Structure 1
Amino acid sequence: MTETTAKNRTDLLNFLDGLGIAHKTKDHEPVFTVAESVALRDEIPGAHTKNLFVKDKKDNFFLLTVEENAAVDLKTVHTLIGAASKVSFGKPEKLMEYLGVIPGAVTAFGAINDTGANVTFVLDEELMASDIINCHPLSNDATTSIGRDDLIRFMEATGHTPLVLKVTA
Protein backbone atom coordinates (compact mmCIF):
# COMPACT_ATOMS: atom_id res chain seq x y z
CA MET A 1 0.00 0.00 0.00
CA THR A 2 1.41 3.39 -0.91
CA GLU A 3 1.10 6.37 1.34
CA THR A 4 -0.75 9.33 -0.04
CA THR A 5 0.47 12.82 0.60
CA ALA A 6 -1.72 14.88 2.86
CA LYS A 7 -3.78 17.51 1.13
CA ASN A 8 -2.55 21.08 1.62
CA ARG A 9 -4.14 24.52 1.69
CA THR A 10 -4.43 24.75 -2.11
CA ASP A 11 -6.11 21.33 -2.26
CA LEU A 12 -8.51 22.37 0.50
CA LEU A 13 -9.50 25.68 -1.12
CA ASN A 14 -9.96 23.96 -4.49
CA PHE A 15 -12.16 21.33 -2.78
CA LEU A 16 -14.30 24.10 -1.22
CA ASP A 17 -14.55 25.81 -4.62
CA GLY A 18 -15.60 22.51 -6.19
CA LEU A 19 -18.42 22.26 -3.66
CA GLY A 20 -19.49 25.82 -4.42
CA ILE A 21 -18.71 26.88 -0.84
CA ALA A 22 -17.87 30.53 -0.31
CA HIS A 23 -14.76 31.13 1.77
CA LYS A 24 -12.25 33.86 2.46
CA THR A 25 -8.65 33.30 3.52
CA LYS A 26 -6.37 35.84 5.17
CA ASP A 27 -2.63 35.23 5.33
CA HIS A 28 -0.81 36.17 8.54
CA GLU A 29 2.27 35.33 10.54
CA PRO A 30 2.22 31.73 11.85
CA VAL A 31 0.32 31.44 15.13
CA PHE A 32 0.57 28.42 17.41
CA THR A 33 -1.83 29.38 20.20
CA VAL A 34 -5.12 31.17 20.64
CA ALA A 35 -3.24 33.88 22.58
CA GLU A 36 -0.97 34.56 19.61
CA SER A 37 -3.92 34.84 17.25
CA VAL A 38 -5.87 37.43 19.24
CA ALA A 39 -4.19 40.27 17.35
CA LEU A 40 -6.03 39.17 14.20
CA ARG A 41 -9.52 39.59 15.62
CA ASP A 42 -10.14 43.06 14.20
CA GLU A 43 -9.13 41.89 10.73
CA ILE A 44 -11.11 38.64 10.63
CA PRO A 45 -14.79 38.75 11.69
CA GLY A 46 -16.68 35.71 12.97
CA ALA A 47 -16.07 33.03 15.61
CA HIS A 48 -12.49 31.88 16.03
CA THR A 49 -11.79 28.29 16.97
CA LYS A 50 -9.75 26.24 19.39
CA ASN A 51 -9.24 22.58 18.50
CA LEU A 52 -8.51 19.72 20.87
CA PHE A 53 -7.26 16.46 19.34
CA VAL A 54 -7.99 13.78 21.94
CA LYS A 55 -8.22 10.01 22.24
CA ASP A 56 -9.69 7.47 24.61
CA LYS A 57 -8.10 4.28 25.96
CA LYS A 58 -9.36 2.27 22.97
CA ASP A 59 -7.54 4.62 20.57
CA ASN A 60 -10.73 6.27 19.34
CA PHE A 61 -9.75 9.76 18.21
CA PHE A 62 -11.85 12.91 18.41
CA LEU A 63 -11.38 16.48 17.27
CA LEU A 64 -13.26 18.94 19.46
CA THR A 65 -13.72 22.30 17.75
CA VAL A 66 -14.91 25.02 20.12
CA GLU A 67 -14.95 28.82 20.30
CA GLU A 68 -11.46 30.06 21.15
CA ASN A 69 -12.27 31.25 24.69
CA ALA A 70 -14.46 28.30 25.65
CA ALA A 71 -13.46 25.85 28.36
CA VAL A 72 -13.69 22.08 27.89
CA ASP A 73 -13.62 19.81 30.94
CA LEU A 74 -11.36 17.00 29.79
CA LYS A 75 -12.32 14.96 32.87
CA THR A 76 -15.98 14.70 31.82
CA VAL A 77 -16.16 15.42 28.08
CA HIS A 78 -15.90 11.69 27.29
CA THR A 79 -19.45 11.23 28.61
CA LEU A 80 -20.73 13.72 26.02
CA ILE A 81 -18.84 12.55 22.93
CA GLY A 82 -19.24 8.79 23.28
CA ALA A 83 -15.64 7.99 24.18
CA ALA A 84 -14.85 4.65 25.84
CA SER A 85 -12.97 6.32 28.70
CA LYS A 86 -11.63 9.65 29.85
CA VAL A 87 -9.69 11.31 27.06
CA SER A 88 -6.12 12.50 26.76
CA PHE A 89 -4.39 14.47 24.05
CA GLY A 90 -3.51 12.56 20.91
CA LYS A 91 0.13 12.34 19.86
CA PRO A 92 1.47 14.68 17.16
CA GLU A 93 2.28 11.65 14.98
CA LYS A 94 -1.40 10.63 14.90
CA LEU A 95 -2.41 14.23 14.27
CA MET A 96 -0.20 14.25 11.17
CA GLU A 97 -1.22 10.74 10.10
CA TYR A 98 -4.97 11.32 10.40
CA LEU A 99 -5.46 15.07 9.82
CA GLY A 100 -2.30 16.04 7.95
CA VAL A 101 -1.43 18.89 10.31
CA ILE A 102 1.09 19.74 13.01
CA PRO A 103 0.28 20.94 16.54
CA GLY A 104 -0.61 24.62 16.29
CA ALA A 105 -2.31 24.12 12.93
CA VAL A 106 -5.10 21.79 14.11
CA THR A 107 -8.34 22.50 12.29
CA ALA A 108 -11.75 21.09 11.46
CA PHE A 109 -10.59 21.29 7.84
CA GLY A 110 -8.31 18.33 8.70
CA ALA A 111 -11.34 16.18 7.86
CA ILE A 112 -10.19 16.38 4.23
CA ASN A 113 -7.15 14.26 5.16
CA ASP A 114 -9.00 11.73 7.35
CA THR A 115 -9.76 9.39 4.48
CA GLY A 116 -9.88 6.38 6.78
CA ALA A 117 -12.55 7.92 9.04
CA ASN A 118 -10.26 7.54 12.06
CA VAL A 119 -11.48 10.71 13.78
CA THR A 120 -14.88 11.71 15.13
CA PHE A 121 -15.40 15.44 14.63
CA VAL A 122 -17.29 17.31 17.34
CA LEU A 123 -18.42 20.89 16.76
CA ASP A 124 -19.49 22.74 19.88
CA GLU A 125 -23.12 23.87 19.85
CA GLU A 126 -22.21 27.37 21.05
CA LEU A 127 -19.60 27.78 18.29
CA MET A 128 -22.18 26.68 15.73
CA ALA A 129 -24.50 29.52 16.81
CA SER A 130 -22.12 31.84 14.91
CA ASP A 131 -22.77 32.55 11.24
CA ILE A 132 -19.07 32.60 10.32
CA ILE A 133 -16.51 30.09 11.61
CA ASN A 134 -12.75 30.70 11.26
CA CYS A 135 -10.30 27.81 10.97
CA HIS A 136 -6.73 27.32 9.81
CA PRO A 137 -6.60 26.05 6.20
CA LEU A 138 -4.30 23.12 7.18
CA SER A 139 -1.48 25.51 8.11
CA ASN A 140 -1.18 28.10 10.86
CA ASP A 141 -0.07 30.99 8.64
CA ALA A 142 -3.58 31.80 7.43
CA THR A 143 -7.20 31.80 8.59
CA THR A 144 -10.12 30.71 6.42
CA SER A 145 -13.61 32.00 7.11
CA ILE A 146 -16.56 29.80 6.16
CA GLY A 147 -20.27 29.81 6.87
CA ARG A 148 -21.48 27.55 9.69
CA ASP A 149 -23.72 25.46 7.42
CA ASP A 150 -20.99 25.28 4.79
CA LEU A 151 -18.56 23.88 7.37
CA ILE A 152 -20.97 21.01 7.97
CA ARG A 153 -21.47 20.57 4.22
CA PHE A 154 -17.68 20.43 3.76
CA MET A 155 -17.34 17.80 6.49
CA GLU A 156 -20.13 15.69 5.01
CA ALA A 157 -18.43 15.91 1.59
CA THR A 158 -15.29 14.40 3.19
CA GLY A 159 -17.34 11.47 4.49
CA HIS A 160 -17.76 12.76 8.05
CA THR A 161 -20.96 13.54 9.89
CA PRO A 162 -19.86 15.92 12.65
CA LEU A 163 -21.50 15.75 16.04
CA VAL A 164 -22.87 19.12 17.11
CA LEU A 165 -22.90 18.95 20.91
CA LYS A 166 -22.48 21.27 23.85
CA VAL A 167 -19.02 20.22 25.05
CA THR A 168 -18.00 23.49 26.68
CA ALA A 169 -18.38 24.46 30.30
Structure 2
Amino acid sequence: MDNTALMHHGVTGMKWGVRRYQNKDGTLTAAGQKRYDRDVRENKAKKKENRINVSDPDPKRWAKEDLERTKRTVDSSSDLLKKASEIERSSAPKATKKRMDLSKMTDKELRQAISREQLERQYNDLFGKTESAKISKGRQFARNTLETAGTVLAVGSSALGIALAIKELKG
Protein backbone atom coordinates (compact mmCIF):
# COMPACT_ATOMS: atom_id res chain seq x y z
CA MET A 1 0.00 0.00 0.00
CA ASP A 2 1.31 3.46 -0.89
CA ASN A 3 2.04 5.46 2.29
CA THR A 4 1.84 8.80 0.48
CA ALA A 5 -1.84 8.45 -0.42
CA LEU A 6 -4.41 10.53 1.46
CA MET A 7 -7.50 8.44 2.17
CA HIS A 8 -10.81 9.23 3.76
CA HIS A 9 -13.07 6.58 5.20
CA GLY A 10 -16.40 8.18 5.88
CA VAL A 11 -20.04 7.24 6.05
CA THR A 12 -21.71 6.27 2.78
CA GLY A 13 -23.63 9.22 1.37
CA MET A 14 -21.76 11.62 3.62
CA LYS A 15 -21.25 15.15 2.27
CA TRP A 16 -18.07 17.14 2.87
CA GLY A 17 -18.49 19.61 5.70
CA VAL A 18 -22.12 18.72 6.38
CA ARG A 19 -23.16 17.27 9.70
CA ARG A 20 -26.56 15.79 10.28
CA TYR A 21 -28.25 17.65 13.11
CA GLN A 22 -31.78 16.99 11.96
CA ASN A 23 -33.71 13.87 11.05
CA LYS A 24 -35.72 13.82 7.83
CA ASP A 25 -38.94 14.45 9.78
CA GLY A 26 -37.45 17.68 11.24
CA THR A 27 -36.74 16.39 14.75
CA LEU A 28 -33.26 16.92 16.14
CA THR A 29 -30.76 14.11 16.43
CA ALA A 30 -28.85 13.69 19.70
CA ALA A 31 -26.06 15.91 18.32
CA GLY A 32 -28.63 18.45 17.13
CA GLN A 33 -30.32 18.57 20.52
CA LYS A 34 -26.98 19.02 22.23
CA ARG A 35 -26.13 21.85 19.82
CA TYR A 36 -29.53 23.50 20.32
CA ASP A 37 -29.15 23.35 24.11
CA ARG A 38 -25.70 24.90 23.80
CA ASP A 39 -27.12 27.72 21.63
CA VAL A 40 -29.81 28.43 24.22
CA ARG A 41 -27.22 28.44 27.04
CA GLU A 42 -24.82 30.71 25.17
CA ASN A 43 -27.65 33.02 24.12
CA LYS A 44 -28.81 33.53 27.69
CA ALA A 45 -25.30 34.65 28.61
CA LYS A 46 -25.30 37.39 25.92
CA LYS A 47 -26.68 40.91 26.15
CA LYS A 48 -30.16 41.35 24.70
CA GLU A 49 -28.99 43.21 21.59
CA ASN A 50 -26.45 40.49 20.72
CA ARG A 51 -28.77 37.51 21.04
CA ILE A 52 -29.75 35.36 18.08
CA ASN A 53 -33.14 33.80 17.49
CA VAL A 54 -33.04 30.30 18.96
CA SER A 55 -36.77 29.67 18.95
CA ASP A 56 -36.30 27.40 15.94
CA PRO A 57 -33.22 25.14 15.52
CA ASP A 58 -31.13 25.99 12.43
CA PRO A 59 -28.96 23.01 11.37
CA LYS A 60 -27.72 24.91 8.28
CA ARG A 61 -26.28 27.67 10.47
CA TRP A 62 -24.70 25.07 12.71
CA ALA A 63 -23.05 23.30 9.78
CA LYS A 64 -21.74 26.65 8.49
CA GLU A 65 -20.42 27.57 11.95
CA ASP A 66 -18.70 24.19 12.19
CA LEU A 67 -17.06 24.73 8.80
CA GLU A 68 -15.90 28.21 9.76
CA ARG A 69 -14.57 27.01 13.11
CA THR A 70 -12.71 24.16 11.41
CA LYS A 71 -11.30 26.55 8.82
CA ARG A 72 -10.05 28.89 11.57
CA THR A 73 -8.41 25.90 13.28
CA VAL A 74 -6.73 24.76 10.06
CA ASP A 75 -5.60 28.30 9.28
CA SER A 76 -4.13 28.79 12.76
CA SER A 77 -2.41 25.39 12.48
CA SER A 78 -1.03 26.45 9.11
CA ASP A 79 0.32 29.68 10.62
CA LEU A 80 1.91 27.69 13.43
CA LEU A 81 3.47 25.34 10.89
CA LYS A 82 4.91 28.29 8.92
CA LYS A 83 6.45 29.67 12.11
CA ALA A 84 7.95 26.26 12.97
CA SER A 85 9.39 25.99 9.45
CA GLU A 86 10.90 29.47 9.76
CA ILE A 87 12.46 28.54 13.11
CA GLU A 88 13.88 25.37 11.58
CA ARG A 89 15.35 27.34 8.66
CA SER A 90 16.77 30.09 10.85
CA SER A 91 18.34 27.63 13.30
CA ALA A 92 20.20 25.69 10.59
CA PRO A 93 23.95 25.77 11.11
CA LYS A 94 25.72 28.42 9.03
CA ALA A 95 29.20 28.06 7.56
CA THR A 96 31.76 30.42 9.06
CA LYS A 97 35.25 31.22 7.81
CA LYS A 98 38.11 30.87 10.25
CA ARG A 99 40.63 33.73 10.23
CA MET A 100 44.25 32.75 10.14
CA ASP A 101 47.16 34.55 11.76
CA LEU A 102 49.12 35.78 8.74
CA SER A 103 51.50 38.11 10.57
CA LYS A 104 54.32 35.53 10.57
CA MET A 105 54.13 34.88 6.80
CA THR A 106 56.20 36.77 4.25
CA ASP A 107 54.56 38.30 1.16
CA LYS A 108 56.09 35.56 -1.00
CA GLU A 109 54.74 32.78 1.26
CA LEU A 110 51.32 34.43 1.27
CA ARG A 111 51.23 34.67 -2.57
CA GLN A 112 52.30 31.02 -2.84
CA ALA A 113 49.58 29.95 -0.38
CA ILE A 114 46.91 31.96 -2.26
CA SER A 115 48.07 30.63 -5.62
CA ARG A 116 48.04 27.07 -4.29
CA GLU A 117 44.53 27.50 -2.82
CA GLN A 118 43.20 28.94 -6.09
CA LEU A 119 44.70 26.08 -8.09
CA GLU A 120 43.13 23.53 -5.72
CA ARG A 121 39.72 25.21 -6.01
CA GLN A 122 39.94 25.30 -9.81
CA TYR A 123 40.92 21.64 -9.87
CA ASN A 124 38.07 20.65 -7.52
CA ASP A 125 35.54 22.73 -9.50
CA LEU A 126 36.54 20.98 -12.70
CA PHE A 127 37.13 17.43 -11.54
CA GLY A 128 35.86 17.04 -7.99
CA LYS A 129 32.69 15.22 -7.03
CA THR A 130 30.08 17.23 -5.18
CA GLU A 131 28.98 15.92 -1.81
CA SER A 132 25.69 17.00 -0.35
CA ALA A 133 25.75 18.89 2.93
CA LYS A 134 25.55 16.72 6.02
CA ILE A 135 22.18 17.11 7.76
CA SER A 136 21.45 15.40 11.06
CA LYS A 137 18.75 12.73 11.12
CA GLY A 138 16.71 14.76 13.61
CA ARG A 139 16.77 17.88 11.43
CA GLN A 140 15.86 15.81 8.35
CA PHE A 141 12.96 14.21 10.23
CA ALA A 142 11.74 17.65 11.35
CA ARG A 143 11.94 18.95 7.76
CA ASN A 144 10.01 15.97 6.40
CA THR A 145 7.36 16.29 9.12
CA LEU A 146 6.91 20.02 8.52
CA GLU A 147 6.73 19.49 4.76
CA THR A 148 4.11 16.74 5.08
CA ALA A 149 2.06 18.67 7.63
CA GLY A 150 2.18 21.75 5.41
CA THR A 151 0.87 19.79 2.44
CA VAL A 152 -1.94 18.21 4.47
CA LEU A 153 -2.95 21.56 5.98
CA ALA A 154 -2.89 23.25 2.57
CA VAL A 155 -5.18 20.57 1.09
CA GLY A 156 -7.48 20.71 4.13
CA SER A 157 -7.64 24.48 4.05
CA SER A 158 -8.46 24.47 0.34
CA ALA A 159 -11.20 21.88 0.80
CA LEU A 160 -12.70 23.84 3.68
CA GLY A 161 -12.54 27.06 1.67
CA ILE A 162 -14.35 25.41 -1.21
CA ALA A 163 -16.94 23.90 1.12
CA LEU A 164 -17.59 27.31 2.70
CA ALA A 165 -17.94 28.92 -0.74
CA ILE A 166 -20.40 26.24 -1.85
CA LYS A 167 -22.33 26.68 1.39
CA GLU A 168 -22.53 30.45 0.75
CA LEU A 169 -23.71 29.91 -2.83
CA LYS A 170 -26.41 27.47 -1.77
CA GLY A 171 -27.67 29.98 0.79
Structure showing the higher helix proportion among its residues = 2
Tell me if TM exceeds 0.5. Answer: no
TM range (shorter): under 0.3
TM-score by length of 2: 0.22
